[in-house]
Amino acid sequence: MKTEPIKQKLFVILAALSALPCFSAIIIGSPTTSWIPITYGANVPDPVEDQQTGLVSGDLVGDTNHPAFYSQFDDAGTPSLTDGTLAFRVRLNSIKNESKRDFDYNLFIGIDADQNGSLDLFLGVDNNPNGSGQLAIWDPGPGLNDGPSSTTIVSPPLMTFAEAAGTNYHFALVDSILDPSATSYDLDGAGKTDAFISFSFDFGFIVNLLSASSISIDQTSGMNYVMATATQDNSLNMDINGIDGGIDSALTFEELGASSDALSATGHSVPEPAVMTLIGIGGLSLMISKHLRSNRIYG
Ligand SMILES: [Ca+2]
Ligand SMILES: [Ca+2]
Ligand SMILES: [Ca+2]
């Protein structure tokens, strides 16, 4: 009988398979422990009650212990670096009408995918005052898109996707299950519980649309994000994450501090291109000095 070696081989194969990283699809309503905060240097996003439209439920809120903005990535378990799902979560002041549990606004995430200061694509939530709507990806338009005053989001969106609650869309009051480490569920302190809006996009669409603008990225590429709420789908007119007010500022997002630290889709910090250049120059000068020293010693 030769069953024993086969069993052993099977055991080895199963052991090898179980040792592979475990890939699981994103659970859009998962606790914050499954999400990675998107940071803004030393800034603590986002000041409370700095939204500019009188509609407090569109106010982005966060503090040192309660991030206003998160991402999560699922790479689909394939070797490809350009597929998978990229999800975002945003903390808001409140739900306008708690009995309806609707998000009644637009929410934009501008992506600076080549890290030159200009936003190359916008994606987010395209809801109306009745709370219904869609997920969308917008063309940035002809403006520089490097600051609030030069942003030219094009309406209607390039692409739209139906919101499927529990699959690619989730809107709920913050509680101890969604945010296990929270010490407050009302960061603005005005008496209404904060809310999380979470949504996801096929990463391949983002890669392909950027590629059409001659920007090549994969899941390891560093990107800077600008995130804002709005009452219309072509301007950042409500609350820009990371800064106090600023919707009409003539400064750039970088000058304002509204551009996030560079993060890959997979959620890893990536040095800015300028830093990489410095590291490159530093490494080169180190190599030259080593070479000169070795020439002095042995030459
Ligand atoms: Ca705010
Ligand atoms: Ca750019
Ligand atoms: Ca609140």
Q: Which pLDDT tens digit goes with each residue over 180-229?
A: 999 999 999 999 999 999 999 999 999 999 999 999 999 999 999 999 99
CA–centroid distance, 172 to ligand 3, in Å, is: 12
CA–centroid distance, 158 to ligand 3, in Å, is: 33
Q: In terms of pLDDT, which residue wins out, 16 or 286?
A: 286
Distances (CA, A) of 33 to 67, 167, 176, 177, 185: 12, 18, 12, 10, 16
Minimum-distance ligand to the CA of 246?
Answer: 1
As a whole number of angstroms, the distance between CA 52 and CA 58 comes to 9
144's tokens: 């520089």
CA–centroid distance, 113 to ligand 2, in Å, is: 5
Which strands make up the sheet holding 195-202, listed edge to edge? 36-37, 69-74, 85-92, 195-202, 169-173
Minimum-distance ligand to the CA of 213?
Answer: 2
Instruction: Look up residue 98 and give its amino acid.
Output: E
pLDDT for residue 7: 54
36's tokens: 């990675």
CA–centroid distance, 19 to ligand 3, in Å, is: 43
Reported for 205-214, long-range contacts at CB under 8 A and 24+ positions apart, including other chains, are: 205/137, 205/159, 206/86, 206/111, 206/121, 206/123, 206/137, 207/82, 209/121, 209/137, 209/158, 209/159, 210/111, 210/113, 210/120, 210/121, 213/120, 213/121
* pLDDT bucket at 98, cuts 50 / 70 / 90: confident
Buried b / exposed e along 153-166 (16+ C-beta atoms within 10 A): beeebeeebebeee
CA–centroid distance, 168 to ligand 2, in Å, is: 26
What ranges in 43-113 are assigned the alpha helix state H? Answer: none
Give per-residue pLDDT as tens, 131-173.
999 999 999 999 999 999 999 999 999 999 999 999 999 999 9
Q: What percent of the chain has pLDDT over 70?
A: 83
- Whether 260 and 226 have beta carbons less than 8 Å apart is answered as yes
Q: What is the mean pLDDT of the chain?
A: 88
Residues by chain with Cβ below 5 Å of ion ligand 1: 46, 50, 59-60, 239
CA–centroid distance, 34 to ligand 1, in Å, is: 24
CA–centroid distance, 149 to ligand 1, in Å, is: 19
Minimum-distance ligand to the CA of 222?
Answer: 2
Residue count (the chain)? 299
Q: Is pLDDT at 285 greater than 90 in this prediction?
A: no
Minimum-distance ligand to the CA of 144?
Answer: 2
Minimum-distance ligand to the CA of 49?
Answer: 1
Q: Is pLDDT at 99 greater than 90 in this prediction?
A: no
- Whether 50 and 244 have beta carbons less than 8 Å apart is answered as yes
- The pTM of this model reads 0.85
